Structure 1
Amino acid sequence: MSGLIVIVEDEEDILELIEYNLEKEGFETVGFTSTKNVSQFLEEEKVDLLIMDRNLPGVEGSEFVAQMRDLGVETPVIYLTAKNKESDIEEGFERGGDDYITKPFNMKELVLRIKALLKRTKKDRNEGKVVYRDIILDLGSRELTIDGKNVELTKLEFDLLYTLIANQNIVLDRDYLLERVWGGDAIYQDRTVNVAINRLKEKIDPDKSKEYIKTVRGIGYTLC
């Protein structure tokens, strides 16, 4: 089993231990010692699982997860924490957790729970596919193939391409794309869309021979 797992743990020795063991199991890991920058990473990358401590500097782990859930982020979460009272565990699940493991913990049990949760959540995902010309977007695995070859996209790029394909006969203005793909956050501007579109074009049409995406000057973008 493979996948990208984000670990938020402020004790660096524990963080390194978890990363080492998960990478031995074939997972890709990215570690953070606080919730700072985690939201941006989740926005930009396709993350399969979040392992979250609760006793963190700044925002407490379960508060961060609750905020994330309010924004519509559905990434599965396992809490790994020293907060072990029954009320703590109930609170963790109420704040959007999918599983709860208390410290001290058994590494083998953690790995088994990760595999079980990933197997369950991947099975539950929408297995539909969206097709446009030689592009196939697999909504279940969130993978892109073009002419039978895999192309790596970030989460944001995948959502952007899906939005374009779902509205393939319509010119989408930048405000619409900002609302649908970026969630209408005021910090993002038209230039954000332009940069993301250009980056997406480079990935799906590096030699510029297929010209999937057409720029409609002064308005926005559409598929050719």
Structure 2
Amino acid sequence: MKGKILLAEDEISLGEIIKESLDSRGFLVEHVACGKKAIEVFKSFSPDIVVLDIMMPHKDGFEVSREIRMLDRNVPIIFLTAKNRTQDVIDGFENGANDFIKKPFSMEELIVRINSHLRISKINFEQQWVSIGKYKFNFEHQILDLHGKETTLTYKESLLLNELIKKRNQVLDRSYILNLVWGTDDFFSARSMDVFITKIRKYLKDDPLIKIVNIRGIGYKLVV
């Protein structure tokens, strides 16, 4: 499989033609016909790239793109639309798009652009990994990897681990991390952070050379 594509196109016949053409070239395509469904499928399907029409029922392509960008800052988004004013193109890019293809279009052009964005996305994804002992961590995608076994972290877990990594072998100030992740350094947030630290220790338990040390009254230190 070359990649997973979310195609949001409300013209059913055109959407099916595009889907069949992409399927035949080794892509896995989910086709939806409205903006609301596009968001639902994006969350469950986790596509590698999104192809959006602008004029769709319930939510237009601009709104869908904005919502996708709140969920994923990196997935490539291509607008595929009959709207061809300069302002439409500007609006597309300002709402999170990576590319803009005007109808009518050729399938070969669409495929070339999809492949180009997937290559760029793959390079960026590979550059986002940092090593922690035996582990690799990708903050943008919230993934901790041990020899190909991936653990998906929550956003707060990822943010906390990322700060520990940036200050590896140094003390991470308790008040700083509480305000960054929880927005306050009160008692309840501090107890919550202790729970999160325990979770991260469990995630890293398969490398005995990694430790998260509690520096009482000051903060935590990731020792690698």
TM-score for the superposition, normalised by structure 1: 0.59
Q: Retained in 2: the 8 A contact 1:77–1:97?
A: yes
User: What pairs with 1:22-33 in structure 2 (closer than 5 Å)?
Assistant: 22-32=22-32, 33=34
SS in 1 for 2:20: helix
Q: Retained in 2: the 8 A contact 1:127–1:138?
A: no
**What is the deviation of 1:115?**
1.0
- Give the equivalent residue in structure 1 for 2:111: 111
SS in 1 for 2:131: strand
Q: Which amino acid aligns with 2:39?
A: V
Identical amino acids, percent of aligned pairs: 28
SS in 1 for 2:97: coil
**What is the deviation of 1:3?**
3.2
- Give the equivalent residue in structure 1 for 2:187: none
Name which of 148, 151, 159 aligns with 2:149.
Answer: 151
SS in 2 for 1:109: helix
User: What pairs with 1:8-47 in structure 2 (closer than 5 Å)?
Assistant: 8-32=8-32, 33-36=34-37, 38=39, 41=42, 47=47
Higher gyration radius (CA)? 2
Q: How many aligned residue pairs are there? A: 207
Q: Retained in 2: the 8 A contact 1:2–1:27?
A: yes
**What is the deviation of 1:14?**
3.4
Q: 1:142 to 1:154 in 2, by over 3 A?
A: closer
Partners of 1:222 and 1:38 in 2: CA distance: 39
- Give the equivalent residue in structure 1 for 2:79: 79
Deviates further, 89-98 or 73-82:
89-98
Partners of 2:31 and 2:167 in 1: CA distance: 37
Q: Which is helix-richer, 1 or 2?
A: 2
**What is the deviation of 1:119?**
2.5
Q: 1:175 to 1:116 in 2, by over 3 A?
A: same
Q: Which amino acid aligns with 2:21?
A: N
**What is the deviation of 1:167?**
6.3
Partners of 1:109 and 1:132 in 2: CA distance: 41
5+ residue gaps, structure 2, are 184-190, 215-219
- Give the equivalent residue in structure 1 for 2:4: 4
Note if 1:102 corresponds to 2:97. Answer: no
Partners of 1:154 and 1:23 in 2: CA distance: 28
Partners of 1:72 and 1:137 in 2: CA distance: 17
Q: Retained in 2: the 8 A contact 1:144–1:152?
A: yes
Q: Retained in 2: the 8 A contact 1:10–1:56?
A: yes
- Give the equivalent residue in structure 1 for 2:61: 61
Q: Which amino acid aligns with 1:83?
A: K
**What is the deviation of 1:53?**
0.8
- Give the equivalent residue in structure 2 for 1:52: 52
**What is the deviation of 1:57?**
1.2
**What is the deviation of 1:120?**
3.4
Partners of 1:141 and 1:166 in 2: CA distance: 17
RMSD of aligned alpha carbons: 5.0
Q: Retained in 2: the 8 A contact 1:51–1:77?
A: yes
Q: Retained in 1: the 8 A contact 2:5–2:51?
A: yes
Partners of 2:57 and 2:152 in 1: CA distance: 28
Q: Retained in 1: the 8 A contact 2:74–2:121?
A: no
Q: 1:6 to 1:201 in 2, by over 3 A?
A: farther
Q: 1:80 to 1:152 in 2, by over 3 A?
A: farther
**What is the deviation of 1:27?**
3.2
- Residues 141-199 of structure 1: per-residue CA shift (max 9 Å, x gap): 987541xx3134558579466566556675988986567xxxxxxxxxx99xx89x97x
SS in 2 for 1:7: strand
5+ residue gaps, structure 1, are 180-189
Partners of 1:222 and 1:30 in 2: CA distance: 45
Partners of 1:154 and 1:41 in 2: CA distance: 17
